[in-house]
Amino acid sequence: MTLMKNLRYGCVGVMLLAMGAIAQAQSWPSKPLNLIVPFPPGGATDILGRVLSEALPSKLGQPAIVENKPGGSTVIGVMAALRAPADGYTVLVSASSSFVVLPALRSNLPYDVEKDVYPINLSVTTPLVVVTSADKPYMKLTDLIAQAKAKPKSLRYTSYGPGTTPHLATEIFAGAAQIDVEPIPYKGSSDAILSLIRGDADFGLETIAAAGPQIKAGKLRALAVTSPTRSRFLPDVPGLDELRLPAANFEVFYGVALSSAVPKPIANKFAKAVSEAMSTPEVKEKMSAQSLEVANKGPEAMAAFMKAEIARFKALNKRLNIQLE
Domains of the chain: 31-126+252-320 (3.40.190.150), 127-248 (3.40.190.10)
Distance in angstroms (rounded) separating the CA atoms of residues 59 and 39: 25
Distance in angstroms (rounded) separating the CA atoms of residues 89 and 70: 20
What is the crossing angle of helices 44-55 and 208-216, to 10°? 110
Q: Distances in Å between the alpha carbon of 168 and those of 17, 161, 213, 310, 325? A: 44, 10, 24, 13, 14
Confidence (pLDDT) at 14:
46
∠ Cα 81 302 295 (to 5°): 105
Contact status, residue 174 vs residue 220, Cβ threshold 8 Å:
no
Residue 323 DSSP SS3? coil
Over residues 188-243, the pLDDT tens digits come to 888 999 999 999 999 999 989 889 999 999 999 999 999 999 999 999 999 999 99
Count the residues in the chain: 325
Contact status, residue 43 vs residue 210, Cβ threshold 8 Å:
yes
DSSP code for 135: T
Distance in angstroms (rounded) separating the CA atoms of residues 148 and 157: 11
Residue 133: Cβ-neighbour burial (10 angstroms; 0-12, 13-18, 19+): buried
Alpha helices in the chain (DSSP H): 2-27, 44-55, 57-60, 75-83, 96, 102-105, 113-116, 141-150, 165-177, 189-198, 208-216, 264-278, 281-289, 299-320
Distance in angstroms (rounded) separating the CA atoms of residues 265 and 23: 9
Distance in angstroms (rounded) separating the CA atoms of residues 5 and 11: 10
E strand or H helix at 206, and its extent?
A: strand 204-207
Which residues are CB-contacts of 277 (< 8 A; sequence separation ≥ 6)?
A: 52, 55, 56, 58, 59, 283
Contact status, residue 153 vs residue 182, Cβ threshold 8 Å:
yes
Q: What is the mean pLDDT of the chain?
A: 91
Contact status, residue 203 vs residue 131, Cβ threshold 8 Å:
yes
Q: Is the peptide bond before 265 cis (omega within 30 degrees of 0)?
A: no
At 18, give phi and psi (nearest 5°). -65, -45
Per-residue pLDDT of the chain (325 residues; tens, 9 = 90+): 565 666 565 655 545 444 555 556 789 999 999 999 999 998 889 999 999 999 999 999 999 999 999 998 899 999 999 999 999 999 999 999 899 999 998 888 999 999 999 999 999 999 999 999 999 999 999 999 999 999 999 999 999 887 778 888 998 899 899 999 999 999 888 899 999 999 999 999 998 988 999 999 999 999 999 999 999 999 999 999 999 999 898 988 999 999 999 999 999 999 999 999 999 999 999 999 988 999 999 999 999 999 999 998 898 788 777 767 6
Q: What is the pTM of this model?
A: 0.76
Distance in angstroms (rounded) separating the CA atoms of residues 238 and 163: 26
Distance in angstroms (rounded) separating the CA atoms of residues 10 and 12: 5
Pick from 142, 201, 214: nearest CA to 177: 142
Residue 288: Cβ-neighbour burial (10 angstroms; 0-12, 13-18, 19+): middle
